Amino acid sequence: MDAFLEYLHRFWSDLIARSDGPMTFRFFLQPIMAALMAWRDGTRDARIGREPYWVRIRHADRVERLAAWRQAVTAVARILLLGVAMDVIYQFKVFGAFKYPVETFVIALLLALVPYLLLRGLFTRLVQRRSTQH
């Protein structure tokens, strides 16, 4: 149990340390890119009359839900890969080797997929509301 707690402590300490040091621009670049993709897809959803993203996922059947998740991952795949590449470079600069692949995966998800998922439905609603006002 102590080894696991030590691992968690190191994991969170390393994640927090990434925000201060080399390559901190990625903490802005990746969420901005994810927001742009969410804007693009949310606008497209509004134009074709789809429900906001989370509403669609919550009310869809299993097949439709899986397709929606695949669409999200596909939309941010380049951003995820960019994030992985930047974290690998970060690890080589700071640690001298690629030591923590789980941290790389978590950072890529937090900086790219999470903002996309949170913003896509919001952008759909904004575009729908704006189009009904005109």
Q: At what angle do helices 114-133 and 62-75 cross, to 10 degrees?
A: 100
Buried b (16+ CB within 10 A) or exposed e, 50-88: bbbbeebbeeeeeeeeeebeeebeebbeebbebbbebbe
Contact 86, 33 (CB under 8 A): no
Q: Where are the domains of the chain?
A: 2-133
Which regions of the chain are under pLDDT 70? Answer: 134
Residue that is written with structure tokens 């509301």 in the block: 129
H/E stretch holding 46 reads helix 26-48
